[in-house]
Amino acid sequence: MLGCAEASDVEAGRRKAEVCAACHGPGGNAVIPGTPSLSGMPAFYTHWQLNMYRDGRRRDPQMTPFAEKLSDTDMADVSAYYAQQAAGPPRSSAAVDRARAEAGRPLAEQLHCTSCHGPTLMGQQAVPRLAGQDLAYLDKRLRGYQSRTTSDLDGQMTAIAQPLTEADIRALVHFMAGMTPRPAPAPGVPGAPGTSGAPGVPGAAGR
């Protein structure tokens, strides 16, 4: 049931993603500030974002022209490929301010980030990985949700971002950017290694 709604071909995805590496980095570990790492990103998430670039709900001068040319199969393949790539160490660790990151930890609790992004913020289903993501990118997206200028599949992030202050946003993105990507522990076994993405957590929740 999970991630297999459309047939996808990881090897085809690897070839199709060659052009993406210029910005998103080898294996989807980005090196350009402001550009997201796609490695270890749940396939549904990457695929939905490509959908939204194609239909205009999400806009970017670089991404839009690429996405407009992609078929559903291309999107499925590329998304499946990136989902299988190991997330590298935190992208922006040099830029992470430890005091801000520490302030962000309780804030992430208060905002229930793990409810959808998973216990280690590695993302699931249509919900993205945040752990170790590029700092400038996290900052841009969170501000985008607040100003309602970035895509939001089901409205959840737009609502969550509204009460955030400048300091809140900075604390959250420093906390998330500083996290080392690691799989979520298996359900019921605290700290045990497990596979991420196992429990069903909503991307597009609803009835």
Partner 1 sequence: MRRTLSIAVIASLLGAVALWIHPSVAQQPPPSWKQGQPAELANSQLAPIAQPPAPKAPGEIPVDKIKVPAGFKVSLWASGINNARAMTWGDKGTLFVSSRVAGNVYAVVDKGSTREVKTIAKGLNQPNGVAFRNGTLYVAEIHRITKMEGIEDKLDSPPPMTVVYETLPKDAPHGWKYLAFGPDGKLYFNIGAPCNICIPPDTHANISRVNADGTGFEYWAHGVRNSVGFDWHPVSKELYFTTHGRDWLGEDVPSDRFDHAPKKGLHFGFPYCHQGDIPDPQFGAGRACGEFAPPLIKTGPHVAGNGVEFYTGSMFPAEYKNRAFLAQRGSWNRTQKIGFRIMMVTLRPADVPRYEPFAEGWLQGSEVWGRPVYTRQMKDGSLLISDDYAGAIYRVTYQR
The residues near 109 (Cβ < 8 Å, ≥ 6 apart) are none
Any contact of residue 13 with partner 1 (CB under 8 A)?
no
Neighbours of 162 (CB within 10 A): 10
Residue from 160, 182, 185, 194 binding partner 1 (CB under 8 A): 160
Instruction: Find the shortest distance in angstroms from Cβ 199 to partner 1.
Output: 4
Q: For partner 1, which stretch binds (CB under 8 A), given 27-35, 88-96, 105-113, 176-184?
A: 105-113
Any contact of residue 101 with partner 1 (CB under 8 A)?
no
Q: What span, in angstroms and rounded, lies between the C-alpha atoms of 24 and 120?
A: 22
Q: Give 22 or 159: the residue with its C-beta nearer to partner 1.
A: 159
Look at residues 182, 203, 174, 193 and name the one whose alpha carbon lies nearest to residue 40: 182
Contact 158, 148 (CB under 8 A): yes
Instruction: Find the shortest distance in angstroms from Cβ 37 to partner 1.
Output: 20
Q: For partner 1, which stretch binds (CB under 8 A), given 14-22, 26-34, 80-88, 112-120?
A: 112-120
Residue from 26, 65, 155, 193 binding partner 1 (CB under 8 A): 155
Instruction: Find the shortest distance in angstroms from Cβ 35 to partner 1.
Output: 21
Task: Provide the mask over 175-204, with x wherever binding to partner 1 is found by CB under 8 A and - wherever it is not.
Answer: ------------xx----------xxxxxx
Residues of this chain that interact with partner 1 (CB under 8 A) are: 1-2, 5-7, 44, 47-48, 50-52, 55-57, 72, 75-76, 79, 100, 103-104, 106-107, 110-112, 115-116, 125-126, 153-156, 158-160, 163-168, 171-172, 187-188, 199-207
